[in-house]
Amino acid sequence: MQSITEIKSLRSQIKAWRQQGHSIAFVPTMGNLHQGHFSLVEKAKTLADKVVVSIFVNPMQFGKNEDLDSYPRTLVQDKQGLAELGTDIVFTPSVETIYPNGLATQSFVDVPGVSEGYCGGAREGHFRGVATVVTKLFNLVQPDFACFGEKDYQQLQVIKTMVHDLSMPIEIIGVPTQREVTGLAMSSRNGYLSEQEKDVAKVLYKVLSQTAAALKSGVRQFDNLESEAKSELEQAGLKPDYFSIAHRDTLKPAQQSDEHFVVLAAAFLGSVRLIDNIQVVN
């Protein structure tokens, strides 16, 4: 596995691969890798000849009072795991490499509509930061495929919309959420939870599953389902940020005529913000 930090070196290797006729799959990450990330790499290996993984904690997508400085950085372990999976390149640029002129004057990419509300409403500027850094990484890696986890469902839809709107020749692949035995979605932020808190956190997936089952059975009282779910989360000790039933693709509030739904949820457990979702297809 090559470990590359500079843009010039990355572009040189990408150019050589292209000249050799190789296809490329890409997995952008912020590090602190777990099985959820590794499942993206495993999927990427089935799609293309070469796999590139980036590790970059992107300051542009962190808002005020968010955990940029305390975000866990485990580069040595991350590289070891990626090497064991047969990753071809791990790209680990510095902030200065990605944003040489700082953030204040950096051009940005905005994806209206699908980026609004939910996590976009709770974290102002978050998806602008995501879309901007992913666009820059796409320009550097020039992949044929890029893999993103379905746990960050709104992010996945933002990236799909951006790629479509900007005519990028990249196929975006959503990879199913990896879960703990309890059903808790794997996340870097789970490391902040005690074992007792993890026992409470599993209720989020339980409530999502109950709501999805109701939708699957034909229940269409969306407001009632959402309010009942929030109440159950609160009773378990979670503080709901949102619990919403939406159209699977547009993320607009669900309508009676819809056939494809996604149930989206975010909740606080102490200072830790958990997100999860379940897709429902009738």
pLDDT in tens, 193-215: 999 999 999 999 999 999 999 99
Residue 22 is among the residues annotated as catalytic for this protein:
no
Side chain identity, residue 238: L
Among 278, 279, 118, 276, smallest CA distance to 202 is for 276
**Which pLDDT value is given to residue 199?**
95
- Strand 239-247 to strand 260-269: parallel, antiparallel, or no bridges (unpaired)? antiparallel
Question: pLDDT tens digits for 122-154?
Answer: 888 899 999 999 999 999 999 999 999 999 999
Rounded Cα distance between 137 and 101, Å, is 17
Q: Is 178 annotated as a binding residue?
A: no
Residue with tokens 């409403």: 121
Q: What is the pLDDT of residue 264?
A: 98
pLDDT score recorded for residue 262:
98
Annotated active-site residue in 22, 37, 126, 247 = 37
Per the annotation, does 106 bind a ligand? no
Going across the sheet that includes 260-269, the strands are 239-247, 260-269, 272-281
36 is in an annotated binding site: yes
* Structure confidence by residue, pLDDT tens digits, 177-196: 999 999 999 998 898 899 99
Domains of the chain with bracketed CATH: 2-175 (3.40.50.620), 190-277 (3.30.1300.10)
Q: Is 162 annotated as a binding residue?
A: no
pLDDT at position 123 is: 85
Annotated ligand binding at 34? The verdict is yes
Report yes or no: 52 and 86 within 8 Å, Cβ to Cβ. Answer: no
49 has a pLDDT exceeding 80 = yes
Q: Is 168 known to sit in a ligand binding site? A: no
CB 207 within 8 A of CB 242: no
Q: 49: burial class by Cβ within 10 Å (0-12, 13-18, 19+)? A: middle
